[in-house]
Amino acid sequence: MKTNPEEMAPFEVVADKIRRQITDEVLKKGEKLPSHRDLASTYDVAVMTAQKAVRLLVKEGWATPRGSVGTFVSSTWDQGGRPVSVEQLAQEVARLRDRLDSLEAQVNGRN
């Protein structure tokens, strides 16, 4: 993910600003995101750009669509204030495996 706004597409900039609102708890778990039109107005972008930003947030796990009701902040979070993805879980499992291997080596070294 790009972090420099100058290198980001407009929809990525909007998505990043919404992510920050989520991590800062301006937008809370389960809360409805503003409409595409409201986002477009707030961030001075086209409605299509706002739609693309929301689709990106859904893809990344930050938001969950609920049919015609709207899109809501995802309730699947870790303690760090970020959505938990399959990739993140796989990385955590790998880290825990490494730690377990290290502990087993220490225990076996003592026996």
Quote the pTM value. Answer: 0.67
In a shared domain, residues 95 and 50: no
In a shared domain, residues 61 and 85: no
Confidence band, pLDDT 50/70/90 cuts, at residue 79: very low
Confidence band, pLDDT 50/70/90 cuts, at residue 82: low
Whether residue 51 is predicted with pLDDT greater than 80 in this model: the reply is yes
In a shared domain, residues 59 and 108: no
In a shared domain, residues 64 and 100: no
Confidence band, pLDDT 50/70/90 cuts, at residue 39: very high
In a shared domain, residues 25 and 63: yes
Burial 34-52 (b: 16+ CB within 10 A, else e): bebeebbeebebeeebbbb
Can you give the pLDDT at residue 23?
85
* Interatomic CA distance for residues 71 and 51, integer angstroms: 11
Can you give the pLDDT at residue 78?
53
| Mean pLDDT, residues 49-57 taken together | 96
- Angle (deg, nearest 10), helices 36-43 and 10-23: 100
Amino acid present at 24: D
Share of the chain above pLDDT 70, in %: 84
Number of domains forming the structure of the chain: 2
Whether residue 14 is predicted with pLDDT greater than 60 in this model: the reply is yes
Confidence band, pLDDT 50/70/90 cuts, at residue 54: very high
